[in-house]
Structure formats: C-alpha cells, structure tokens
Structure 1
Amino acid sequence: MSSSATRSIPLTSASETPAANLARPTPITRPASLVAPARRGLPHHAGFWVTAVAFLLMMAFNTVPTPLYALYQARDGFPTVVITVVFAAYSIGVMVSLYLAGHLSDRIGRRPVILASVAIELVAAVLFLLWPEAVGLVVARFVAGLGIGMLTATATAHLADLRRISHPRGTLGFAATIAGVANMGGLALGPLIGGIVAEWVPAPLVAPYLAFAAAFVAIGFAYAFVPETVTRPVVREPYRPQRVRVPAESRGRYWAAGIAAFAAFAVTGLFGSVAPVFLAQLLHQTDHLVAGLVSFAVFGAAAASQLVFSRLSARAQLRLGVAAMVAGLVLLGVSALAATLATPAAATLFVLGGVTAGAGVGLVFRGSLVAAGSLAAEGSRSEVTSGIFLLAFAGMTVPPLLVGVSLLVLPLVPVFLGFVVLVLGLIAWAGRRMLATTD
C-alpha cells in the first residue's frame, strides 16, 4: 500500500503498545477530526524496514564509545569517574528529551520527530570529532541522549503504525519484535564496532564518528521518503510536557515495575560505561576488542532473550528474567572475589555473569512495560509508560555514576560488590512484588 493512501491509524506512541498488547490485532480506523496526509514516497512495507535500520543505526552509535573510553582516558589521564559522568550525561539527555518531547509524535507526526532525531545524532557525531576533550565528550553525549529520547518511543510507534497499514489483517507482534531487536541489537552492535575500530582501524577516535555521520546523512535522506502515519489534528492542543498519572490503588505495583526497570538498566549502564575499566583493572584484560565483545554479548543477550522466549506467558517471562538477573549478578560478584585470589576462571565468570544478567534484563524490562501498561487508565497509557522509561534511564545513570565516584576513595572490588548487592536487593524486592500481581 503506498503512502498516498487516505486511511489513517489511531494516534499511539511506542509506550502505548507494550508487549502484552502488541500480540493482538489492532484495527485501522479513520478519525473524523483528522485530515489524512497526501504524500508520495516509499511503500509502507519498505518504510517499515528503513525505519528499523534508522533505529538500529542510532542506537548503535550511542554505544560505539564504550570500548573507546579507555583510549580517551589513556590519552588525557582523567580518572574513571569522568567516564561515568560522560555516560551519565547521555542518560540525562535521554530523560530530559523523554519528558519534554517523547510524546510529540502523537501530535505533529512520526517523520518530523525521527528526522529531528537523526539531525541531532549527526550533530553529536560532529561534536565528537571537533571537541574530543573530556568536556566535549560530556556535551556530545548529552546531545546524543536528546536525540535518543525523541527516537525510542517514536520509532517503535512508527514501526507499529507501518505494520498495521502494510498488514492490516495481521498482528503487531512482529513489529514489537523488530523494535526490540533494533533497540537492544543496536546497543549490542555499537561496542562491537567500537572494539574493532580501537583494535585495527587507524585514528580510532575519529573513524567511527566519520562513518556514523555519513550513515546518518544517508539514512536521513532515505527516511524522508517513509510514509507518515499520523495526521495532525485540525485544532492543536497547547503544548505540555509528559505527565505520569497512576490510579492511587495501583501505585505500589507501578513502583515495583519502575524499580525493576531501574535495576535492569543499572546493569546495562555498568556494561555501557565502566565495564572496560573493570576488565583492565580487575581482570588485567586490556584488549579493546575484548571489551567491545563483552558489552556486545551483554546487550545481545538482552535482545536475544526477548526473541527466544517471546512465546512464553508474561508471568513466565518475568519469572525467568528475575531468576537470570539474580544468577548473573551473583556470578559477577563471585568473579570479583575470584579475581582477588587470582583465579584463572575469574574472567570467564565475569563474562558469563554479564551475559546471564543481560538476558534477564531484556525479559525484566519487557515485563515492566507490560505491568505498567496494564495499570494505565484510558488515555494515560503513554504517560504511565513514559514514567517507566524515565525510571529505567535513572537506573542507567545513578548506580554507574555512584560507582565512578566511589572509585575515587575506595578499592575496586568493594565498589563492584556494593553495586552487585544494591542491584540484587532492588530486583529481588521488585521482582517478588511484580510476580505476586502478574497473571
């Protein structure tokens, strides 16, 4: 079906279609108050894949620096806390953008928001090239976070929209799967690319950003021809930031879902920021490709677990995810203790623990979104789920930043074990509460 079709779909956002609802067919309707856009471009099925590639590329760009931080640190001699500040700047940018602009595509359309996100990521790539000092890294990461905060909900919503139109008799489970793979798969691909660049490519602090800048120009041009799926209201409502409204009787369950998301993203934050430092100082593994491969394996496990276990019930997925996170965190703690005893198996335990915890992260976060969506009142699903995203990115920010600050005054092993104990406690409490109220 071409983009000139006059049908339009209900206004939704990514956060309005959690995994539990994406498995059911959603009819295409024709809102009377909206005027359908008339624009020629790609067919909807081709636009679906262009959108998925754009999503994947932009997520990959934001984890490319992970194995490169050690190169910046060796060049400039800054402490590990600076790495966590750089990483935290990204998460803060995401949260600011989610709060201010994460819901705008419901009102102004998917294409303008995603094209703006591509432009912002291009600016971030240029900042990495022109301002490679520590302050510049903080600014570049903050700008990149602004783009991703606009992207995640909108791209997932656009994939669901395009799937509805190109396959009106099908279900949206496929769109949800592709969105999850593009999101977590992109996060996994980035460190692998960064590790390969750091190991074998000349000018490793320049080449990846040049490559991604060129890719953003290309994908931005291609995405400009993707059909719009949201029509603008004839009468525009006044702008307001995203709000979170949860019924009073559901707030306990909502906070359990939010804390589970916080704990899950704390693990991704660790492996997206300071894990290479742990590999170097704790396990004496300084190979940049190995650092990239470890982060790739953790994020990849988070993406793969959602694919492998997608046919299980929501409760079974959540139970498995909590168990995997607990087991993985215990293995990470054991690896730290083994490293102090110079046990050869310490590195293997570290990687195994990260991969196991990563697999749990994918299932737990998906379960958090499903739980939050089930608590939303009519018309507030976007707001409720955006709150989960905000708590998740707070988890990606605060614990790794505390780790970096603690390393200024404490040895590595106690700090690492403290992180493990903190996240274990959070996921054990939140997981038990969520399982008690999940069918």
Structure 2
Amino acid sequence: MMPHASARAGFWIVAAVFAATMAYSTVPTPLYPLYEQSDGFPVSLVTVIYSAYAVGVIVSLYLFGHISDWFGRRPMILIAVAISLVSGVMFLAWPETAGLVAARLVNGVSIGIMSATATAYLGEVRAVAAPTEKPAFAASVAGAANLGGLALGSLIGGAMAEVLPDPLVLPHVLFLVLLTVALVAVAAVPETVARPAKAPRYRPQKLSVPRANRSIFLVAAFGAFAGFAVFGLFSSLIPTFLGGEFEDRDHLLAGISVFAIFGASAVGQLALAGARLRTQLTVAVLACTVGLVGVATGAILVQIALFLGGGVIAGLGVGLLFRGAIGTSLAIAEPGHSGETVALLFLIAYLGPVIPVLAVGAGLSFAPPLAVLLVFVVLVLAATVSAGLIMRRRAAS
C-alpha cells in the first residue's frame, strides 16, 4: 500500500493538474472576438468551434472514460495532459478557422479523459491518505477543480488579452508551459489501480438506463441537457453579445463574466452540499427562473449589469440542477449499474452545448441576436424549470 504522505501529495498534485487542464479549455472563450476579427468568420461559426469541443468530450467519455479502471489512472491522466498540449500547439500553429475547430475537438478529447479519470483517482487516493474521512471531501475537491478550473480559464484568457500583447499567442504559451510542468508532476504520483496480468478486451463505455425508472431518468437527463445548454451559450457567445448588443469589447469583462457564471455554479454546489435534494432543486428552479428572466430583461433593456447578473444567478441554478440530476440518477440506478447510468447522464448533458448552441448559431445567420437570445431563453427556462419541478416532486415522495 502506498504511504499516506505520498497519497496526500498525489491527491493535491492531481487536483491542481485537473484544474489547470480544465482551465485551458475555457481560455479561448474571451478570445473568440479576436479570432473573428483575425479570420473574418461570422459569429455563427463561433458556435461550431465551441460545439466541436463538446463533441470531443462526448466521444472521449464514451470511448475512453472507463479505460483507467484497468489501464491505470496515472497513465490516462498523463495521456489527457499530453492531448491538451497537442491542442495548444494546434492553436498556435493553425489559427485559421479549420484549425480552431480541430484544436477545440482535440481539447475536448483531453477533457473527457481527464474528467472521468481524475475524479476517480481523487476519490481512491484520498481514501488512502485519509481513510477515516468521508468521501464527500474528495468529491467536493473534484467538483471544485472541474468547475473552478473552467471559471479560472476564462478569467486568465480575458486578463491576458486585455493587458498583454499577442493575445492569441501568449495565453496558449503560458498553458503549454503549465501543462508541461503538470506532465512531469503527474509522472511522480502514486498509482491507485492494480493492472491485471492480461488486459480485458476493449469495449466502449457501457451505458444503462434503469428499466423501472426510465421516465424520471429522462427528466433528469433533460434537465442536465438544458442546464449545460446555458453554460454552452455563455461560454461560446457571451464575448460576442457583449461587443455587439452592449458595445463593450473589454476582453477582461468577458473573462470575468464567464468566470462568475461557472464560479456561481461551483459555489452553489459547495454551499448546499449538505442540504436535502428537494431543497437543492427548489433553489435550482428559483435561481434558473430569476436568472434567465434577468438575462432576457437585461438584453431587452440593454442593461449589462442585469444581463450578467442574471447569468450568474442562472449559473448557480444550473449547477444545482445538474447536481440534482446526478442525485436523482444515483437514487434510481439499478444495483451495480450506477456508473453506467451516470455515464449516460453525462453524455446527454454534454449534448447541451452542441445541439441548442448550434441552433443558436444557425439562427444568428438570419435573425437579430436579441431575437435569437430571447427564443433560447424561453425554451431553456421552460426546460430547466419543468425538469427541476418534476425531480423535486420525485425527491419529495
């Protein structure tokens, strides 16, 4: 068995690497308007670039998310970091439109592998480092590294774009250096999986829908899908909306906005971690309602504070809604199949930044941004609130 000290060090090293890898995935968000100016592509193409990332995550989770169970956590984390480094090189060497799509797709593959593997690693290694500690601590750190990294990346990208020269180069160079250091650090952490003498036959991730509770699972998955659509919209188009509708082209503000939305999601989950599922879903429904109405009202009145404040409140609600969807899925999963059920939930959730966001991009090619945004808000509001209320009623029964 690995020493406790080694396990403790491995826990925090992987948590930091997890956060850094996630952060790099949102660094390009405040840079999209600069890529638009440089390459001259329409705003609708931003949604294609962002959706390529989500597709990469989905494919990666399905094909590779479970391999670390027998291949080992450490080698798969190393592979995830290496793939992220490849995407960074692609951003620098191929900054044209096709290159951006390809780089985001590759980066998504990295995130899919890292999310599944690092989360499992943190739970296992923490059990060695602190055997009497409740598993909730490792889960909270994993969640903070995931959403906190997503929040920090946009802030770093926006800040560097605002105050430093070469904003399409230096952010990528910084993270190439950080991820190279991460590669070296992860190579030294202890392994938590004993490799079998003979590797099992490869198959994609097995997915499972609980037979007796398919309807409530579909509701939970629909809520996660709609919630991630909100994240996708803000992560891909908020800099463009700020520059177009509000005539504010401050890259730092764009980064801060996405940081605040993801940060609110993370803070909400941590703050209500001990609350009952029914309570969490109540807050989720209220926050989604107030937040999305605020986004729409701010867009109509051209009030940037109301628009962004609504986004932050909606982010809090979406985070709790997704946590509720996970709780609902775990509660109804068949014995021995919870991993398969949650994996399917994640795959459906990550379709949220693909299908609706691509639809928004298509709408922007023939309709004013305000009209497209309002239609999106109405649809997502109906979806998140209805899913949250049904899950809440199920949790109360």
Q: TM-score, normalised by structure 1?
A: 0.88
Q: Which residue of 1 aligns with 2:325?
A: 368
SS in 2 for 1:336: helix
Letter in 2 for 1:361: V
Task: Note if 1:211 corresponds to 2:174.
Answer: yes
Deviations 1:399-421 (A, max 9, x none): 11111111000011110001101
Q: Which residue of 2 aligns with 1:293?
A: 256
Letter in 1 for 2:228: F
Offset of residue 360 of structure 1: 0.9
Q: Give the conservation status (yes or no) of the 8 Å contact 2:71–2:199.
A: no
Q: Which residue of 1 aligns with 2:224?
A: 261
Letter in 2 for 1:286: R
Letter in 2 for 1:382: G
Q: Which residue of 2 aligns with 1:38?
A: none
Quote the Cα distance in structure 1 between the aligned partners of 2:359 and 2:103.
21
Task: Note if 1:175 corresponds to 2:138.
Answer: yes
SS in 2 for 1:254: helix
Match of 1:283 among 219, 224, 246: 246
Q: Give the conservation status (yes or no) of the 8 Å contact 1:114–1:154.
A: yes
Offset of residue 4 of structure 1: 6.2
Q: Which residue of 2 aligns with 1:230?
A: 193
Identity fraction in percent: 47
Task: Note if 1:399 corresponds to 2:356.
Answer: yes
Aligned residues: 396
Q: Which residue of 2 aligns with 1:165?
A: 128
Deviations 1:333-352 (A, max 9, x none): 1112212xxxxxx1111011
SS in 2 for 1:43: helix
Match of 1:422 among 364, 370, 379: 379
Unmatched runs of 5 consecutive residues or more in structure 2: none
SS in 2 for 1:311: coil
Letter in 1 for 2:2: S
Quote the Cα distance in structure 1 between the aligned partners of 2:262 and 2:10.
26
Quote the Cα distance in structure 2 between the aligned partners of 1:386 and 1:3.
29
Offset of residue 234 of structure 1: 3.8
Cα gap change, 1:354/1:370 in structure 2, threshold over 3 Å: closer, same or farther?
Answer: same
Task: Note if 1:153 corresponds to 2:149.
Answer: no
Task: Note if 1:106 corresponds to 2:69.
Answer: yes
After the TM superposition, which of the residue ranges 113-122 and 300-309 deviates more from structure 2?
A: 300-309
Quote the Cα distance in structure 1 between the aligned partners of 2:96 and 2:55.
20
Quote the Cα distance in structure 2 between the aligned partners of 1:381 and 1:231.
22
Quote the Cα distance in structure 2 between the aligned partners of 1:204 and 1:336.
28
Q: Which residue of 2 aligns with 1:90?
A: 53
Deviations 1:178-228 (A, max 9, x none): 111101100100111011111111111010111111111101111111111
Offset of residue 325 of structure 1: 1.1
Deviations 1:126-175 (A, max 9, x none): 00010011110000000000011111111111111111111111111111
Letter in 2 for 1:59: M
Q: Which residue of 2 aligns with 1:34?
A: none
Higher helix content, 1 or 2: 2
Q: Which residue of 1 aligns with 2:148?
A: 185
Quote the Cα distance in structure 2 between the aligned partners of 1:237 and 1:318.
40
Task: Note if 1:351 corresponds to 2:350.
Answer: no
SS in 1 for 2:191: coil
Q: CA RMSD in A?
A: 1.3
Deviations 1:203-262 (A, max 9, x none): 110101111111111011111111111112345432111122223221001111101111
Q: Which residue of 1 aligns with 2:39?
A: 76
Q: Which residue of 2 aligns with 1:140?
A: 103
Quote the Cα distance in structure 2 between the aligned partners of 1:235 and 1:298.
45
Deviations 1:273-309 (A, max 9, x none): 0011111111111111111111111111111111222
Quote the Cα distance in structure 2 between the aligned partners of 1:218 and 1:3.
23
Q: Give the conservation status (yes or no) of the 8 Å contact 2:277–2:392.
A: no
Q: Give the conservation status (yes or no) of the 8 Å contact 1:58–1:186.
A: yes
Q: Give the conservation status (yes or no) of the 8 Å contact 1:62–1:187.
A: yes
Q: Give the conservation status (yes or no) of the 8 Å contact 1:103–1:382.
A: no
Task: Note if 1:121 corresponds to 2:84.
Answer: yes
Unmatched runs of 5 consecutive residues or more in structure 1: 6-41, 340-345
SS in 1 for 2:352: helix
Q: TM-score, normalised by structure 2?
A: 0.97
Q: Give the conservation status (yes or no) of the 8 Å contact 1:274–1:400.
A: no
SS in 2 for 1:271: helix
4+ residue runs over 6 A deviation: none
Quote the Cα distance in structure 2 between the aligned partners of 1:64 and 1:236.
37
Letter in 1 for 2:368: P
Letter in 1 for 2:225: F
Match of 1:410 among 345, 367, 371: 367
Match of 2:211 among 248, 265, 282: 248
Deviations 1:82-133 (A, max 9, x none): 1111000000000000110111111211111111000000000000010011
Q: Give the conservation status (yes or no) of the 8 Å contact 1:89–1:141.
A: yes
